[in-house]
């Protein structure tokens, strides 16, 4: 992780804390309670997101959760809960993406059947496939794709950092 990533995380973190009327020096437990309540309100209380979610809430979570996860004040139990939220949102995005693809396939098949019936009535031999994707589905998939890319980049960076961290611990232990 380079300095630019840390600056971005700090900026994201400071802005989000400010939106909850906190700052970097406030009690971590209070911040976590407020953040967790906010996550529950946006994404529900079950292990999987079952309610309708706004794209801006998904975008907020994809941008903000990595900043909290990488904040050095977030200790192990809280960090694990933040990673759980990140997985929960990632799983929702994957399922939404798969449902969107299935929905488009069903919509296209329905359009082709009705076009074929219309062609039979008018005597047209060929049907040109001019089905258009639903714009909201496309924008949601685009946002989901961006969020997944950010998530995998963050995951890669975290794994790389952990490997480096454990390598340095092992190296120090071998020297002693």
The reply to whether 73 falls in a domain is yes
Largest CA distance in the chain: 87
Residues of the chain with pLDDT under 70: 1-6, 101-145, 147-148, 151-152, 155-156, 161, 165-166, 176
Write the pLDDT tens digit of every residue in 62-99. 999 999 999 998 888 899 999 999 999 999 988 888 87
* CA gap 159, 14 in Å, rounded: 25
Q: Specify the pLDDT at position 130.
A: 36
Q: Specify the pLDDT at position 131.
A: 39
Task: Compute φ and ψ for 26, nearest 5 degrees.
Answer: -75, 165
Q: Specify the pLDDT at position 127.
A: 36
Task: Give the single-character DSSP code of 39.
Answer: H
Q: Specify the pLDDT at position 174.
A: 74
The reply to whether 96 falls in a domain is yes
The reply to whether 102 falls in a domain is yes
The reply to whether 61 falls in a domain is yes
Domain span including residue 154? 3-122+139-175
Q: Specify the pLDDT at position 133.
A: 42
Cα 126 from chain centroid (whole Å): 43
Number of domains in the chain: 1
The reply to whether 111 falls in a domain is yes
The reply to whether 127 falls in a domain is no
Q: Specify the pLDDT at position 34.
A: 96
The reply to whether 40 falls in a domain is yes
Q: Specify the pLDDT at position 170.
A: 77
Q: Specify the pLDDT at position 134.
A: 46
Q: Specify the pLDDT at position 136.
A: 54
The reply to whether 132 falls in a domain is no
């Amino acid at each position: 992780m380079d300095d630019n990533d840390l600056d971005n995380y700090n900026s994201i973190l400071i802005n989000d804390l400010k939106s909850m009327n906190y700052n970097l020096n406030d009690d971590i437990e209070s911040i976590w309670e407020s953040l967790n309540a906010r996550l529950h309100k946006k994404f529900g209380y079950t292990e999987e997101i079952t309610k309708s979610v706004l794209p801006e809430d998904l975008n907020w979570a994809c941008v903000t959760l990595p900043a909290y996860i990488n904040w050095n004040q977030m200790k192990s139990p809280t960090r694990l809960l933040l990673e759980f939220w990140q997985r929960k949102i990632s799983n929702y995005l994957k399922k939404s993406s798969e449902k969107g693809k299935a929905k488009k396939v069903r919509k296209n098949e329905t359009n082709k059947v009705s076009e074929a019936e219309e062609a039979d009535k008018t005597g047209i031999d060929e049907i040109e496939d001019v089905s258009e994707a639903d714009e909201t589905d496309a924008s949601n998939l685009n946002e989901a794709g961006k969020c997944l890319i950010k998530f995998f980049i963050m995951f890669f960076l975290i794994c790389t950092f952990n490997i480096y961290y454990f390598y340095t611990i092992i190296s120090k232990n071998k020297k002693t």
